[in-house]
Amino acid sequence: MAKPTIHIFALGGTIAMVPDQHGGARPALSATDIIAAAPGIDDLANIHAHDFRSVASANLSFEDLIDLAKEVNALLSDGADGVVVTQGTDVLEESAFALDLMVDGGAAIFTGAMRHSGLEGSDGPANLANAVRLAATIERPVAGALVVMNGEIHAPSQVRKVHTSSFGAFASAENGPLGRIDGTGVEWARSIPQTPNISPGSISGIARIAYYAAVMDDRSAILQTIADGDFDGLVVAAFGGGHVAEETADLLAAMTGNMPIVLASRTGAGRILENVYAYKGAEIDLISRGLIPARNLDARKSRVFLTLALGAGWSLAEIRTVFSKF
Ligand code: ASP
């Protein structure tokens, strides 16, 4: 049987880093170098290497991700069997979700490394091999992205980086991984969640979405700066099930006339409540004053969705409907 064709896009990150003369790691490896460090993946697929970016992931932009999605979609519609993206783990939960929204007609498998190649037990080669293995063998219909780290497969809409340095830094707190993968095969635990599709070609600009995280006794100074700023929307990482202080609630309510405001939680798991607490600043109050509940989508991923949807010209009604299904 012919080997599948898999394209590997390297964006930088620890998986592409080597120590400099002082021992600190910086991006340096090309896609070909990263592939060469994972012997045996040529047996799994015909590999095509793409040097897309070479950055620490904090420097990735929405423009980068839209360009990447366009290239991935073009390859998948041209008959490629799968795509693997290697990048830094710091923003991987956001970039993989962006591609999950924009990729159509196949799967983009995201992976990275928690230990660079100069450290003992570097996990990049094993993560890359598992990502290629999944891209080459996946039988489930996927239109979007998946994350493979530490032998686990995660849904981009659910996974978060939850540890600064552990091999097991990625977790889907609500339901656990979608499955596990190693040299012996894939074991699925549950089905892949469906996410909406936003065609990258339909995105005509990058909406500026502010991100405000509620903290105790902050007296709304930062939120006021956002209200006075030039933003197209706001995502609130609220306390608990969707709660803020009374003063914050009044300011948010005043801001809803100027921009869509999404109500998400800072907790990291669980659905935004909609009908439990009625006090001023609680979810019933905030939703009745125009905030859009993010349901199960966390605040950072809500910002990714709102940025792309507004950039693609989606109406507020469409955006509300999609949030009601997350
Ligand atoms: N700072 C790195 C980055 O995100 C961390 C990593 O790749 O794990 O680029």
- What's residue 2's pLDDT? 84
Atom of ligand 1 nearest to the CA of 114: 8
Q: Are 251 and 223 in contact (CB under 8 A)?
A: yes
pTM over 0.75: yes
End-to-end CA distance of the chain: 39
pLDDT tens for the 326 residues of the chain, in order: 789 999 999 999 999 999 999 999 999 999 999 999 998 999 999 999 999 999 999 999 999 999 999 999 999 999 999 999 999 999 999 999 999 999 999 999 999 999 999 999 999 999 999 999 999 988 777 889 999 999 999 999 999 999 999 999 999 999 999 999 999 899 999 999 999 999 999 999 999 999 999 999 998 899 999 999 999 999 999 999 999 999 999 999 999 999 999 999 999 999 999 999 999 999 999 999 999 999 999 999 999 999 999 999 999 999 999 999 99
- E-strand ranges in 155-267 read 160-161, 170-171, 179-182, 185-188, 209-213, 233-238, 261-265
Of 98, 169, 107, 92, give the one whose Cα is nearest residue 140. Answer: 107
Of 9, 154, 147, give the one whose Cα is nearest residue 76. Answer: 9
Of 77, 90, 82, give the one whose Cα is nearest residue 41. Answer: 82
- What's residue 143's pLDDT? 85
| Alpha carbons 47 and 8: distance in angstroms, whole number | 7
Catalytic residues: 14
Beta carbon of 56 within 6 Å of any ligand 1 atom: yes
- Mean pLDDT of all residues belonging to the chain: 96
With a CB cutoff of 8 Å and minimum separation 6, the contacts of 88 are 11, 12, 13, 14, 15, 55, 56, 57, 58, 60, 112
| Alpha carbons 34 and 268: distance in angstroms, whole number | 32
* Residue entry with tokens 């040097």: 51
Beta carbon of 87 within 6 Å of any ligand 1 atom: no
Closest C-alpha to ligand 1, atom 8: 89
Q: Are 240 and 279 in contact (CB under 8 A)?
A: no
Beta carbon of 13 within 6 Å of any ligand 1 atom: yes
pLDDT in tens, 236-249: 999 999 999 999 99
The CA 173 to ligand 1 mean position distance, Å, reads 21
> 3-state DSSP call for residue 123?
coil
Structure tokens that stand for 197 in this block: 């599709």
> 3-state DSSP call for residue 90?
coil
Beta carbon of 156 within 6 Å of any ligand 1 atom: no
Atom of ligand 1 nearest to the CA of 56: 9
pLDDT in tens, 78-123: 999 999 999 999 999 999 999 999 999 999 999 999 999 999 999 9
**Which DSSP category does 326 fall into?**
-
Beta carbon of 88 within 6 Å of any ligand 1 atom: yes
Of 196, 242, 15, 237, give the one whose Cα is nearest residue 101. Answer: 196
| Alpha carbons 102 and 322: distance in angstroms, whole number | 15
Residue 103 burial (CB count, 10 A): 26
- Report all structural domains of the chain as residue ranges with CATH numbers, in order of start: 5-188 (3.40.50.1170), 207-323 (3.40.50.40)
